[in-house]
Amino acid sequence: MDNDPYKIQITSGLMSEFFPSIKGIRYILGDALHFVNHITSYMDVICVDLYTDEGYPYFLFQQNFWSLVQSTLQVNGKVIVNLFGLPEHLHPFSGKSPQLLVLRSMFAAGFKHIYSLPYRRNYTIIAYKDEREAPKPYYPKYELNEIDRLIFQLLSVRLSLADNINIISEPLEPVLGSRRELNLEMENRWPNFIQVLNTALVKCGFEKIQKHQLKELIMDPTRAIPITEWLITHKLPEASFIPNFVGALAFSNDLVHWYPRWLIDNGYYLFNYDKRWFVNVALWQFLSILANPLSHFGYLLPEAKTIVEIINKKHQF
């Protein structure tokens, strides 16, 4: 369902072209808030992705909306939410963050089992009406290309390592509903991030940097690797920065060639040291680079497949 006919047209076209065997999809042009008030049947899964170029609709911050969503779920139903906003290295679940306010509204509406999966500036939120569904291996029912099949095979491990979000009651900060407000908040948080990054650099024997030198740092494995490992060792959210930056650069065909080789050569060690970071941040960004048509790293696909196979064998469900 969408209130933009062009998006419905695009979605319908993509599904017809790439998944022609999936039948019975109903496309509805309309307003989600109006629709959720008039659902008469119970749903197994509801997906909510309501962020636009302008920002969040304010009803997404309201407990009433999420109470309506929950009331339409089956006993074992779940809601999957795409939350755009602050990236992990800027502490998105604190302070003036729209992601935090949405989660609080969901929690207040009765979703007690809420989990998150990071992806650059987005988080995938999975909230259960009752008990959490235990992750289990999934097998695609439809024909996928090789990289998509690899991503699919890793999904059950990724879900099992999702972060359990516990929302505490504290005074709410002002709502950041627009993209402009959100970008300003990002700017306000950069100094603290640079300070943490410089602490890691000094601890690893390097000189401090300024914000404009970040890309130079990313391109230099002699510094990027040890400071990332230092941040991982100290369980800091800032450890997500370099993998996410590397994944974002691939969209401009600005490739960081040391990163894939580092993950492949050290995957066994990194997975055993910090499973959550390796699967849900580092490896996930690596697979996104392989899937990116601008990256030209397809020759690494066999080695990526080996890593995913090892992880699936080591990770018991």
Q: Give a yes or no: residue 290 inside a domain.
A: yes
Residues 173-182 have pLDDT tens digits of 666 778 888 8
Average pLDDT value over all residues in the chain: 88
Q: What confidence score (pLDDT) does residue 174 get?
A: 62
Say if residue 103 is in the same domain as residue 234: no
Q: What confidence score (pLDDT) does residue 173 get?
A: 62
Say if residue 119 is in the same domain as residue 258: no
Say if residue 261 is in the same domain as residue 149: no
In the listed set 164, 190, 211, which residue is the last one of a domain according to the structure?
164
Q: Give a yes or no: residue 170 inside a domain.
A: no
Task: Name the stretches of the chain with pLDDT < 50.
Answer: none
Say if residue 22 is in the same domain as residue 149: yes
Q: Which domain holds residue 191?
A: 179-314
Say if residue 144 is in the same domain as residue 216: no
Q: What confidence score (pLDDT) does residue 35 get?
A: 81
Say if residue 112 is in the same domain as residue 60: yes
For the chain, what is the domain count?
A: 2
Q: Give a yes or no: residue 200 inside a domain.
A: yes
Distance CA 249, CA 251 (A): 5
pTM, whole model, 2 decimals?
A: 0.89
| Strand 113-119 versus strand 43-48 pairing type | unpaired
Say if residue 307 is in the same domain as residue 227: yes
Q: Give a yes or no: residue 62 inside a domain.
A: yes
Q: Residue 120 is part of a domain; what is its CATH number?
A: 3.40.50
Q: What confidence score (pLDDT) does residue 169 get?
A: 57
Say if residue 160 is in the same domain as residue 184: no
Say if residue 262 is in the same domain as residue 233: yes
Say if residue 193 is in the same domain as residue 135: no
Say if residue 133 is in the same domain as residue 245: no
Say if residue 159 is in the same domain as residue 197: no
